[in-house]
Amino acid sequence: MINAHCFQGSSKHSDTRQSHRKKNGIDLFIWRMLLVFFICAAGITAEAQNPNLIAPPAHIKTVVLKPADPEAYTPIVKLGEKLILSFDDISSERRIYSYKIEHCDYNWKISNLASTEYMTGYASDRFRNFQNSFNTLQYYTHYEMEIPNENNRIKLTGNYMISVYDDYGNILFTRRFIYYQPLVNVSVSAHRSTNAATINERHSIQFVINHQNLLLNDPNREIKVDIYQNSDWNSTIKGIKPKYIRGTQLLYNYVDEISYWAGNEFLYFDTKEIRNATNNIYKTRMEDIFNTYLYATEARGNRPYTFFPDINGNFVLRTLDAQDVSLEGDYSLVHFSLDYPNNIDKEDIYLYGSFNDWQINEENRMKYNSETGYYETQLLFKQGFYNYTYVSVGDDGMINTHKVEGSFYQTENDYTVIVYYRKFGDRYDQAIGLGTTNSERLLN
């Protein structure tokens, strides 16, 4: 089944659904399940896709879960490779935090496997590496751990959830990650949409799974796939079935059925020199902590496409003021302003990006200032280079990723396909392949 959240945005099919419901009385959920092979637009839910997902509290900042490779951002790695989880506690107390790693099924629900089945060592342990910041206006304690480590090692591929607990046993936050083994080869390509109505705004994704070394008895039931745009978990398209099966190849060469709004290049700011105004920063002020004021941004939905390089919504911690950004990187309160006079529907506007794991919450909601005429907010960021964009959320709870900032086929995006395998009788979903492409290489 394609993720039901992917159908918001196509007026043609929206009208069809509305008409069909009126005629047949089929409710929205059932109708979405039936629309497996319709075009998937980029509307996504503003609510967590998984009830196990928990956003960090106000005193926990800069949660990072990424591969050890400094050039990688998304926590999807081969089995045995290293992931690093880190975060800062800006409260005045040093606390003992712990974590728990749990195996999940294809739909990110906690699986029925015992911890001894998917890992050696301890599934739960405390953070052993933590240090206080120094030479910073904003005090914090930095916590860090590696997966795997000397106390645990993951044995099985698949989806995983790590939960971090305080010293009272309460969950502070959760994060997702994936371990896979390359048992199949996945070839992915990005295309310009062939739909005349959206040819200038959407990307269509096609891919082929080659499984020469894996015997499949019933590919339609044994194989599942997830498709992601950039590192945004919310963008997932799930459960597409192969269009053709040709020997040891599964072909997902639909024309426009797997498609995304291309969006726009991400905006950015860089606070590596926290005392100085640089590109996109018009002033800094030092009060109790540093304050960074960005230039007001004009909504780009009705403006021509302009290319500038980005890192597709991610961020990199860095500083020119010290040696170790983990302990010496300071924080600043970054002030955002958006000029968006065309918000006729009065939808909520949110700051959006990997900086908070693509979550929608009150902290990153923009508030309209009637005196300035801008949507404004301010968030605490550790020194670094950050990508962000603006999204709108309507009364239906759907995230619209292109209404404020526009969508242009020229936009450069990463696309990732994860392949899962669960043969008859198995108790868990293996992640057996990964394929990626970039829309700089559009094939039409």
What domains are defined for the chain?
A: 1-38 (no CATH), 60-180 (2.60.40.10), 267-400 (2.60.40)
User: Rounded CA gap, 373 and 340, in Å?
Assistant: 8
pLDDT score recorded for residue 44:
56
pLDDT score recorded for residue 51:
56
Instruction: Name every residue whose Cβ is closer than 8 Å to that of residue 418 and which is 6 or more positions away in sequence.
Output: 76, 178, 180, 225, 226, 228, 431, 433, 434
pLDDT score recorded for residue 55:
95
Residue 349, Cα to own-chain centre: how many angstroms? 18
Locate 18 and state its tokens.
Answer: 């509305």
User: Rounded CA gap, 318 and 134, in Å?
Assistant: 16
Where would I find the beta strands (DSSP E) of 11-113?
A: 44-45, 60-67, 76-78, 83-89, 98-104
Q: Find out whether 69 and 78 touch, Cβ atoms under 8 Å.
A: no
pLDDT along the chain (444 residues), means of 10: 38 42 41 36 46 88 96 96 98 92 96 96 95 96 96 96 95 97 98 94 97 95 97 94 96 94 97 91 94 97 93 97 95 97 90 96 95 96 98 92 96 98 95 97 85
Give this prediction's pTM: 0.88
User: Rounded CA gap, 207 and 86, in Å?
Assistant: 34
